[in-house]
Chains A and B, each alone.
Chain A
Amino acid sequence: MNSPTYLLSNDDENFSYTFFSEGRNGIVAKGVLFQLVDSRTCHYNLAFGDIVSADGDFDDYAISDNQDTEKILATVAHAVHDFMQKMPNARVMAEGSTPERTRLYQIKISKHFDDISRLYNVFGFISDQWQPFEKQTRYEAFLITAKEVNLIL
């Protein structure tokens, strides 16, 4: 997993990150946010979107077509890793805004699974149940936890 990443900014307060995608169609600001959805189990949701106006409006379905998907996803992975350093007990769930994007996440996780799984446990949701991530399975959502924490627990 040696893809280059964009430089991230972090507000260090709300677990939000921003970065700028650059490519043939210009510069696109992107926001990544880790949202606490269950404080008892330390469940967070990974939310991600394009900032599409100066007013700070977001779009989940925008296709910037900057030919930098790999770099964008590596940057999001960087944000996830940084967040997990700060919140090692967190369980982070991710789901694409469309089936195609969820599929894209699936492909990228599969591609880099050997590297990711050295540090993180990865689970997938399919047919109404969660299971350990398997490369050939087409999941509807994903969840990761830090490996050391699980070993301690």
Chain B
Amino acid sequence: MLPGLSFRHRPCRARAWRGVAIAAGALAGILLATSSAHAQAAPPAGHQDEAFDFMNLLAHHDLHDISQESWNAYGQFTSIEQWKPAFSARYSGEQSLGTAAEGSFTETATLFFGLRLWHGGEAYFVPEVISELPLSGLHGIGGAIQNFELQKTGSETPQLYRSRTYLRQTFGLGGGPEEKESDPMQLGTKVDKRRIVFTVGNFTILDVFDRNSISWDPRQTFLNMAFMTYASWDFPSDARGYSWGGAEELYWDSWVFRLARITPPQRPNQLPLDLRLWEFYGDNVEIEHDHTIRGQAGAVRLLGYRNRVDTGRFADAIAAFQGNQQENARSCGPRSDYLANPNAPDLCWVRKPNVKLGIGLSVEQHFTEDIGVFARGMFSDGQSEVDAFNAADRSFSVGAVAKGSAWKRSFDVTGVGFGMSWISSIHAQYLAMGGVDGFLGDGNLRQAAEGVVEGFYSVNLLDAIWVTADYQFLWNPGYNADRGPVNIFGGRVHAEF
């Protein structure tokens, strides 16, 4: 959500009942959903203050102190439908984006519970239902997967799971008060501008790091993951995008320093997590500086990560294959997590503790209260396979998001973005030999940068519902100049309560 718009309204009775109906429908959706499910790991955007939600309704009736909350509860429902017309390709492999026309969807319903435990102590619990159908089994696209809600373990059968359970403890260090508004996973309260915040439990690293205020929630702005965070940030997590671990944040005036250690998956891109944090882990460091230019807010963030995880290096896989061609994917047996090409190297032969490094820079700046731009770029070493996120080794994205105040539709949101991602030369050589990784495997490769342009317009209805039309244009899907381009048309319905 863009900061700036901040005005609370007095919900009239009709709006309240409309909201109750929305909430009841969404709650029923959570518990009784019968279509597909897949969930994203991005943190929820803040509620627009004028939109309907239960906490505002209770506060309006003097039943809840929304500025100093002991508890809160929010919810959301999002349905995303996408369709890809047929496109041309010189060849396809076992893990290619299919060339035939194809549909995809995700549906999620989420409840966000927050509870104050003691002074500075907060607990959050977030159950979620997800149902999903990815394009081509989530194969064939590198850093520009068309819907960030998609999960690697999703199915069309709705799955109820616990996305987050964590504790947050804040220690004030002075510097004056700062108001934290009531939102999903944020109790309304006042904190010191200088403070230390500890987060421990089961969460996604995106709940703490890369908190870009313009584009990070596929339920409200862009759909493509290229614009949600760094596409080449291989942060350890389970196949849904969540981890166990701890994070520490130091807020000191306009500076924020963040550290975190989180659990990786036991095997790349799978759901089970390795809880041996002393042996396998993802370490993340971020420095943020907030500023204003001509009265408009902006921020610069520098992020670095170092993973020590059980993965395979592309060079090792190629060397193993060239040394003994019987050690191919088909002969890996139960050790192979991906589809198998019997005439190609496979990472399953060479998995061992490896280190992966990356560094990224993110910039955001508001031009007016309602218009903001952002840019992110990251460079990862690209020597080893993707462990948890997606098949990109370098990435860059830029975009702009605006609210519709200028045309008297202040709840409407529109945006346009451009993203590029690349893979390392050794990664490309591995794919060109017919190798497969967690997402890619065309059987061959004519290396090129993968690119995407996305535009969307989101219309607000009934204060708490947004209906979105979205278009994406992808070229060189899977970093392969012999495939594509691809058009993807999408629609989204999102409700909050």
Q: Do A and B come from one complex?
A: no
